[in-house]
Amino acid sequence: MKYLKQSLKVLCLLALASSAFAQTHEVLMKNRGSAGPMVYEPDYLEIQPGDTVKFIRKHKSHNAASIAELSPADYPGFMGKIDEEIEVTYDNPGFYGIKCSPHYAQGMVMMIKVGDTTLPDSYRAFKAPGIADKRFQEIYARIDKQ
């Protein structure tokens, strides 16, 4: 019984320690930024499992939503409401594509890398609508240079 109590204490401390090191990263949803119109800034993040991304509305009529084709197969996804600031915690390693639903074809997209992982080939094969595809290709080129 003594060992069980000690083991439980250690597990609780480890759980507290891991959540204490988790970070929150901010992403701005903007009408215009350094990359042009309809952007997330930054448009690429590298985070660790357990970290949270907070999507902050800087201008009206934006949201953040996951892209099923650019997310791990077992990821349930999310869709923020228009003008909603939303926080999303990423627990599992992988790449996660994000879009602004009303401005997807206008290129309002970003990519989040969680943990130590490799970009799946299927992501490169996926064709996003309009300018979004060009912006994803630019993000992939930056990932390749790392």
Annotated binding site for Cu cation: 62, 100, 103, 108
Report the candidate in 49, 8, 28 with the shortest Cα–Cα distance to residue 108: 28
Angle at 112 between CA 128 and CA 118, to 5 degrees: 90
Q: Residue 17: which residues within 8 A CB-CB, separation 6 or more? A: none
Q: How far apart are CA 115 and CA 123, in angstroms?
A: 17
Which residues are annotated binding-site positions? Answer: 62, 100, 103, 108
Report the candidate in 92, 101, 136, 114 with the shortest Cα–Cα distance to residue 46: 114
Report the candidate in 55, 105, 124, 106 with the shortest Cα–Cα distance to residue 83: 55
